[in-house]
Structure 1
Amino acid sequence: MTPHLPPRETLTVEFKSDRKKLSDTDLIEALVCLANAEGGELWLGVEDDGTPTGLHAEHRLLEGMAGMVAARTSPSLSVQAEAVEVDGVTVARIHVPKAHGEVATTSGVYLRRRVKHDGTPECVAMLPHERASRASSFGLIDVSAQPVAGATLADLDPLERERLRQAVQQYGGDRVLLELDDEALDGALTLTARQPDGSRVPTLTGLLLVGRETSLRQWVPTHEFAFQVLAQQAVRFNEFRRFPLLKALDWLETNFRPYNPEDELQVGLFRVPVPKVDMGAFREAVANALIHRDYHRLGAVHVRLEDEALVVSNPGGLVDGVTLANLLVTEPRPRNPTLADAMKRIGVVERSGRGVDKIFRGMLKFGRPAPDYSYTTAQSVVLRLPTAEADLDFRRLVVEHERATNTELPIDSLIALAALRESKRVTADELAVQIQRDTTSAKRTLEALTEAGLVEAHGSTRGRSYTLSASLYQAVGDKAAYTRQAGFAPIQHEQMVLSYVRQHGSIKRAEVMGLCRLSAEQAKELLTKLRDENRLILQGEKRGSHYVLGPGA
């Protein structure tokens, strides 16, 4: 299949004219530029406006191009070139992979492609901090473990060390840390790094966790966070701070609480709190933003309460390998592994690294919409936690089920129930997309909910669909909704069978199974009902048995 010439240049598409023979240097730099962004394709022999004008005579033999590119890039860039006929002229399509890390020309030129404010792309020099930022996003270096040049042990604050020890107790962290003296604690959490001369120097993690505020301003100028409250477009709270991280979390939580009213729900003898925003989800979202932000980029971590959502954003996009489509299931890939590990051992964030699950649980268990990461860009991760009214009946049902089984509902089950409440009816294939797993896993989740009495299955194995159970609809006081969802299918099946018989004269049980996607037993029940109502008449015996229209049809 011949590839089509794209209509315009983008972040991943570059056009280069070859009428005057593009120099090898210009070609190599253009390819390096693409590789240091998202990769893509360079179309040689195409003008900037997208007009194909063809290859120079010396570029028509493409066989040696990949070797020339590999020889003039470091590390060697592997490209694929092919000739493509466009509007009667031959052009070259050069496929460029995304570089894992960074790639330069052998003359030491580092370039990257970016999109300008008007939407058009350009190639710019990669500055040292951008190269380090890229390396950390690929997991090639751990910036948080690096010693901070110029910083000394005097930049670490004894009061913040004490706060760290209290946090270990408060959050149920690794109690071994409480038995260590300062130097051993520094070593255990990599708060300092030992130099060749035996002296110790604070790392980025050390400064961020127990550094003095004045030292953070001096040595980590990119570190800043803000808490903002916007109500009906009016700013009610808007303050920026540069505290070390444990103090930052305390400050953010303290200032957020007055804006987070809490109702109570009576479940049996227990009172269950129902806050506007689940504090576990709040803490995990804010801690994740502070831990996983790109400390090479200027810009604050923003915690902003809007009319309809709490929005948490941080500089630096998702790290390589993490996408919106695998956020729930991918292995944890922290941008700053040493900092992330220290926060886990202190107990501030999930020890498993699956903090996203905690954020999802904090929303879905109250019947609220799922967390929304869709505003995330290559420059920043943006998380919206909708502050819609909680569904108290649903929350009661979840609490009762979890108390009865003495276990929390798995996150996939909560996503499934949320999907059913919104879509009314789902298949395993549809749920698989939402839980970011395969269809088998989705089916397992739905069948487990069916066994628990929360969900009902309809149809045969192949075309099986699921609705919330009658007991669940009854629990939330919406019996009519259940009748609409569960009752619709049998009526529809009856009409499908009768319509088939009108068209084809008769129908067999196997044909009913295929037509309505029912099991053998379900098809038998449907045909028996239609026969009892005189709408169908059974003719023939055994293998020859079939049904024709009856007088009541």
Structure 2
Amino acid sequence: MLDAVYAGRPAHQLESEQLDFKTVGRSVSDTLTDLAEAAACFANHRGGVIVVGVHDRPGGPDALVGCTLDEPQTRLAIFERTEPSLTVDVAPLMYRDTRMVVITVPESAAVHAVRGRVTQRVGTSCMAMSPDQTARLVADRRGEDWTDLSTDLPASAVDPLAMAQARQFLRDTKDSVRQSFADLSDADLLRALGVLTRHGTLNRAGALLLVDDPHGLVHTAYVHRRTPAGELTANEQLSAPLVTTLARLFDLISARTDTTSVDVSPLVQVQVADLPPAAIREALVNAVMHRDYRGPDRIVVEHTATRLAVTSPGGFVSGVTPDNVLTTASRSRNPRLAEAIRKLGLGETAGLGVDRMYAAMAGLGHRPPEFTTDEGTVKV
């Protein structure tokens, strides 16, 4: 990176979600506060590196101004200025006879503030977080499961159509144990799914899956166009319980997915779906399973003849990025909801859903699925 700056590239063009360049300001005290804010910002995201002694612009040898900050003093200042205190690594770096300081910030299990302000790295900026966003990040870092919390809804609050659909999903599985769940009483089925508390009320996972929202809140939108820029041919706003919504999405997409004839031998021809059903199913189930339900935003499913895009509220959970989504250990934002969905036979064993999407796409010669995130959403 420093070679590129020395060669003339402005440092700000090299900054990223995990790299920032700084210089010493008008006073050491102000600089240390600025560094504490930058460190907290990185720690509240996925960690990062701060290089002190490089001007953002322009590039060239003159951008490498260096700094004389003392490493122990810098480490202590960041520790003292952050709440809760943040421990970072501070080390000197010599480059072309210019001394700089490199601050390595780990991703933290806590959420850190400086002077009462909480920020998080988004792109190349530190964005202020609202109290609600901060509370969600704290819950995610602590591994708290919002969907495991109890509601005051009795078991009788479940929607009969949703229960019937849940039983149908169970009968459609190839697992004899799951199939046997379909014949249980409502109360026993709710217990088997893990959505009935010991007090006889539904947890939030059960309410999401099986209770009709009395306010008709739309949580999922489906839109279809023949071409990406074409006119809408379908636009459905879905507010039903999640099991009913998933069944409806499966039907909507299946009815509008084209097939192509493929000759497998001179005498045998098969019809192959242009979009692999297994990949479609996993993309939809993953969105429902892992989205953030603590806000009003909705899942958006955009469908064309050759493309399906599913956008769900809530960024990746801590430690997961678009680059490592296939290889990193699986961790759900909503473990209780995820468990119930898997028991219904809708989701893969933990950690295998994304693998199955990749395999389904590769099996038909398609490019692998693409994941993007802007911290507020995940899109596949």
Q: Normalising by the residue count of structure 1, what TM-score does the alignment of the two structures yield?
A: 0.56
Tell me if structure 1 keeps the 8 A contact 2:122–2:374.
no
Tell me if structure 1 keeps the 8 A contact 2:11–2:21.
no
Rounded to whole Å, the distance in 2 between the matches of 1:96 and 1:327 is 22
Residue 145 and residue 341 in structure 1: after superposition, are their counterparts in 2 closer, same or farther (change >3 A)? same
Amino acid at match of 1:156: V
RMSD: 3.7
Partner residue of 2:143 out of 128, 140, 145: 140
Residue 263 and residue 41 in structure 1: after superposition, are their counterparts in 2 closer, same or farther (change >3 A)? closer
Residue 74 and residue 153 in structure 1: after superposition, are their counterparts in 2 closer, same or farther (change >3 A)? farther
Match of 1:313 in 2: 311
* Secondary structure of 2:161 counterpart: helix
Residue 353 and residue 334 in structure 1: after superposition, are their counterparts in 2 closer, same or farther (change >3 A)? same
Match of 2:202 in 1: 202
Rounded to whole Å, the distance in 2 between the matches of 1:172 and 1:250 is 18
Once the two structures are TM-superposed, the CA of residue 235 in structure 1 deviates from its matched residue by 2.0
User: Does 2:29 correspond to 1:22?
Assistant: yes
Structure 1's unaligned 5+ residue stretches are: 384-553
Residue 183 and residue 374 in structure 1: after superposition, are their counterparts in 2 closer, same or farther (change >3 A)? closer
Residue 94 and residue 326 in structure 1: after superposition, are their counterparts in 2 closer, same or farther (change >3 A)? closer
Rounded to whole Å, the distance in 2 between the matches of 1:78 and 1:326 is 26
Match of 1:478 in 2: none
Rounded to whole Å, the distance in 1 between the matches of 2:224 and 2:48 is 39
Match of 2:163 in 1: 161
Rounded to whole Å, the distance in 2 between the matches of 1:271 and 1:54 is 69
Match of 1:113 in 2: 121
Match of 1:178 in 2: 182
Once the two structures are TM-superposed, the CA of residue 169 in structure 1 deviates from its matched residue by 0.8
* Secondary structure of 1:213 counterpart: coil
Once the two structures are TM-superposed, the CA of residue 108 in structure 1 deviates from its matched residue by 5.5
Partner residue of 1:260 out of 248, 257, 261: 257
Amino acid at match of 1:204: R
Once the two structures are TM-superposed, the CA of residue 346 in structure 1 deviates from its matched residue by 0.7
Once the two structures are TM-superposed, the CA of residue 226 in structure 1 deviates from its matched residue by 2.2
Tell me if structure 2 keeps the 8 A contact 1:373–1:381.
no
Tell me if structure 1 keeps the 8 A contact 2:316–2:378.
yes
Amino acid at match of 1:313: T
Rounded to whole Å, the distance in 1 between the matches of 2:190 and 2:143 is 24
Alignment of 1:319-330 (within 5 A): 319-330=317-328
Match of 2:246 in 1: 249
User: Does 2:37 correspond to 1:37?
Assistant: no
Residue 287 and residue 334 in structure 1: after superposition, are their counterparts in 2 closer, same or farther (change >3 A)? same
Residue 249 and residue 125 in structure 1: after superposition, are their counterparts in 2 closer, same or farther (change >3 A)? closer
Residue 201 and residue 15 in structure 1: after superposition, are their counterparts in 2 closer, same or farther (change >3 A)? farther
Structure 2's unaligned 5+ residue stretches are: none
User: Does 2:234 correspond to 1:225?
Assistant: no
Residue 180 and residue 130 in structure 1: after superposition, are their counterparts in 2 closer, same or farther (change >3 A)? farther
* Secondary structure of 1:381 counterpart: strand
Tell me if structure 2 keeps the 8 A contact 1:226–1:239.
yes
Match of 1:103 in 2: 112
Partner residue of 1:365 out of 363, 367, 379: 363
Amino acid at match of 1:36: N
Listed one character per residue, the Cα deviations across residues 385-444 of structure 1 (whole Å, up to 9, x for unaligned) are: xxxxxxxxxxxxxxxxxxxxxxxxxxxxxxxxxxxxxxxxxxxxxxxxxxxxxxxxxxxx
Rounded to whole Å, the distance in 1 between the matches of 2:343 and 2:207 is 17
Rounded to whole Å, the distance in 1 between the matches of 2:233 and 2:111 is 44
Aligned positions, number:
364
Once the two structures are TM-superposed, the CA of residue 121 in structure 1 deviates from its matched residue by 1.6
Q: Normalising by the residue count of structure 2, what TM-score does the alignment of the two structures yield?
A: 0.78
Alignment of 1:269-280 (within 5 A): 272-280=270-278
Tell me the percent identity: 27
Amino acid at match of 1:191: V
Partner residue of 2:128 out of 109, 124, 129: 124
Rounded to whole Å, the distance in 1 between the matches of 2:315 and 2:290 is 9
Listed one character per residue, the Cα deviations across residues 116-141 of structure 1 (whole Å, up to 9, x for unaligned) are: xxxx62341353334424643x5722
Tell me if structure 2 keeps the 8 A contact 1:145–1:190.
no
Match of 2:71 in 1: 62
Residue 193 and residue 15 in structure 1: after superposition, are their counterparts in 2 closer, same or farther (change >3 A)? farther
Once the two structures are TM-superposed, the CA of residue 304 in structure 1 deviates from its matched residue by 1.9
Residue 347 and residue 10 in structure 1: after superposition, are their counterparts in 2 closer, same or farther (change >3 A)? closer
Rounded to whole Å, the distance in 1 between the matches of 2:122 and 2:326 is 29
Tell me if structure 2 keeps the 8 A contact 1:19–1:45.
no
Listed one character per residue, the Cα deviations across residues 286-344 of structure 1 (whole Å, up to 9, x for unaligned) are: 11222122324554322222353222332334334444554445443323222121111
Listed one character per residue, the Cα deviations across residues 511-549 of structure 1 (whole Å, up to 9, x for unaligned) are: xxxxxxxxxxxxxxxxxxxxxxxxxxxxxxxxxxxxxxx
Match of 1:451 in 2: none
Once the two structures are TM-superposed, the CA of residue 71 in structure 1 deviates from its matched residue by 4.8
Residue 334 and residue 286 in structure 1: after superposition, are their counterparts in 2 closer, same or farther (change >3 A)? same
Residue 279 and residue 88 in structure 1: after superposition, are their counterparts in 2 closer, same or farther (change >3 A)? closer
Rounded to whole Å, the distance in 2 between the matches of 1:352 and 1:125 is 30
Greater helix fraction, Structure 1 or Structure 2: 1
Residue 320 and residue 33 in structure 1: after superposition, are their counterparts in 2 closer, same or farther (change >3 A)? closer
Rounded to whole Å, the distance in 1 between the matches of 2:150 and 2:311 is 27
* Secondary structure of 1:168 counterpart: helix
Partner residue of 1:304 out of 302, 305, 319: 302
Alignment of 1:356-395 (within 5 A): 356-366=354-364, 368-373=365-370, 375-383=372-380
Listed one character per residue, the Cα deviations across residues 12-66 of structure 1 (whole Å, up to 9, x for unaligned) are: 31525432233455543332122112322334566665766665xxx74322432
Amino acid at match of 1:93: V
- Point out the structure with max Rg over C-alpha: 1
Rounded to whole Å, the distance in 1 between the matches of 2:113 and 2:189 is 40
Residue 17 and residue 151 in structure 1: after superposition, are their counterparts in 2 closer, same or farther (change >3 A)? farther
Tell me if structure 2 keeps the 8 A contact 1:133–1:296.
no
Listed one character per residue, the Cα deviations across residues 227-258 of structure 1 (whole Å, up to 9, x for unaligned) are: 32242522222222222221112211222233
